[in-house]
Amino acid sequence: MPSETTDGVGVRVWDWPVRVVHWAMAVLLVVLVTTATIGGNAMEWHIRAGETMLALVLFRIVWGFTGSRYARFASFVRGPGAVSRYARSLSRPAHELHVGHNPLGGWMVIALLAALLIQAGTGLFSNDDVLAEGPLVRFISKDLSDTISGFHVKNAWVVVALASIHTAAVVYYLVALKENLIAPMLHGSKTLPATKAEGDETPMRHAKAVALFATCAIAVWFVVTRH
């Protein structure tokens, strides 16, 4: 149920799978870049963390079609008109408010998920010429694996750049635009003016989320344990 306060109405926006997956991805990205920078034996952990990231990204994509209202791609992937209208509103004192991702942020979510999917996917076929190799290297030639590894290393910087812009944008919203997007990503609710307050009232299907995540994890495990 929406709860009313003097600032507006509190509504449910982010379901727990969106929030748990989000913070797990943020932590894993730090682990991945750190282990890749250390190299050597740390690459064992890089590979484990990368495979976990792959399962999370796959789950988030499936959840984008099957999850709760604001988790769905259909609710936040908008055309160029909506994006430019939103971008123009940012220069006005009161910018457009959105319950879920705003039209600009929606495309950042797509970019992040696509870059992470490509990164984790190429990791499976990468090798470091010393100890570490992804679990699917044995199925392709050394030359192809070297080419994919080169791409994996370059694309890592695309991922890091997108995540940095994303984090900087969220901080900009907090400091300059006085819109706190971080708290809802922690507890799941937003406080909005009554006219905008259309929360997600559909019951959360916990078992469905757990079953879908288990399916993604098992699919990744199945692929990475092929010998």
Binding site for ligand HEM (CB under 6 A): 18, 22, 25-26, 29, 32-33, 36, 46-47, 50-51, 53-54, 60, 101-102, 105, 109, 112-113, 116, 119-120, 123-124, 126-128, 132-135, 149, 152-153, 156, 159, 163, 166-167, 170, 181-182, 185
Sequence-separated contacts (24+) of 164-167 with Cβ below 8 Å: 165/108, 166/108, 166/112
In the complex, least distance from residue 1 CB atom to ligand HEM, rounded to whole angstroms: 22
Q: Closest residue to ligand HEM, Cβ-based?
A: 123
Q: Is 132:46 a contact under the CB 8 Å cutoff? A: yes
Q: Is the CB of 2 or the CB of 188 nearer to ligand HEM? A: 188
Could you tell me the smallest distance in angstroms from the CB atom of residue 174 to ligand HEM?
Answer: 8
CB of 157 to ligand HEM, least distance (A): 7
Q: 133 vs 200, which CB is nearer to ligand HEM?
A: 133
- Rounded to the nearest 5 degrees, what angle is found at the Cα of 189, between the Cα atoms of 188 and 193? 155
Q: Output the CA angle 164-23-102, nearest 5 degrees.
A: 65
CB of 176 to ligand HEM, least distance (A): 14
Residue entry with tokens 């006005």: 92
